[in-house]
Structure 1
Amino acid sequence: LLDFSRDKQLKLERGNVNAVIRDTLHLVEHELRQRHIQPKLSLSDTLPDMDMDKNKLQQVFINLFMNAAQAMEHDGELQVTTREVDIDRPGQNKGARQARFQAGESVIEVEVADTGPGIRPQDREKIFELFYTTKAVGEGTGLGLSVTRNIINLHHGSIDIDNRPEGGTSVILLFRKTNRENTQ
């Protein structure tokens, strides 16, 4: 609730999202180990820096990593991939991607994937709604994905969540790279 009542300003600084991902994995490492969930990282060594609020992005990754861990319960794999991708043409991507990015634009992509059961069809359209949760009473507030989407929007990025063909869930985040001319 505090995130919704607080100022919607970011404390932007230039940084690399790979460092935020690694730091966040250290924070949730014990929980993953307890559940026998193996993190598998494929982080691009050539990923450019971007303007970010590191603390808020860390909150995003904590939410995504813990959601994945809770969905898998025990014995699974948390896959985190970063890469630079080009948006080929308008409308090629779904959801917020086509509204936020132009054809030809090069963006930073972060994918967080799990080997859990995936998202039930009846939950798909509601997952970003405030206070919507599929967890048992006392286990979730229904704020995590709503807060996550708000933070991504503040970064002028996009978030898409879908089931993977091989099972599990995939979360794709897209961010603009830092424009060096606008960096002070």
Structure 2
Amino acid sequence: MTDVCVLGTGLIGGSLLRTLGPERAFGWNRSAPGARGATTAGFDVSTDLADTLRRATRADALVVVAVPLPALGAVLDAVAEHAPGIALTDVISVKRPVLDAVRERGLGARFVGGHPMAGTAHSGWEATDPDLFRGATWLVAADDDADPHTWSRVARMASDCGSRVVSSTSSDHDAAVARVSHLGHV
């Protein structure tokens, strides 16, 4: 499998780095302490987003956006500027707002949304776990215009993490998650 570039080294992104290993994954983190934690653990993580995206382009890496939803716009703006043709996925818990933001920036041709149904109450690099995704369900979105090659890459990555891959449209995912997960918080 080709390289994976993870943007954001918090619980989900950092766990993805740990699961795939430093020989297969590299990344970026906005905060220096998060990047330093990953680097100390043996991962190639930078705080220079533009440089990381150029590297992802050269490597034809699958870029995984693993930032909180409020930070999504700025990260996608950087992807549009520095790596507009890259294969792209995400691990954000809602799919339709992400898909809309991706399309607004002209990045939809090689985007397939993703959502690993895994997590803890903790956050940051210190909370990462290489076994977080083992046995978890990982949605790989199957929207009408999903690129089949990117879809396969995302599904393979999820499977390599020990997850069970399921598929639905972004809208159907959000409706189901709202009923079974988010409604309980309300």
Normalised by the length of structure 1, the TM-score is 0.27
Instruction: Please identify which structure carries the higher helix content.
Output: 2
Instruction: Please identify which structure carries the higher strand content.
Output: 1
User: Considering only CA atoms, is the larger Rg found in Structure 1 or Structure 2?
Assistant: 1
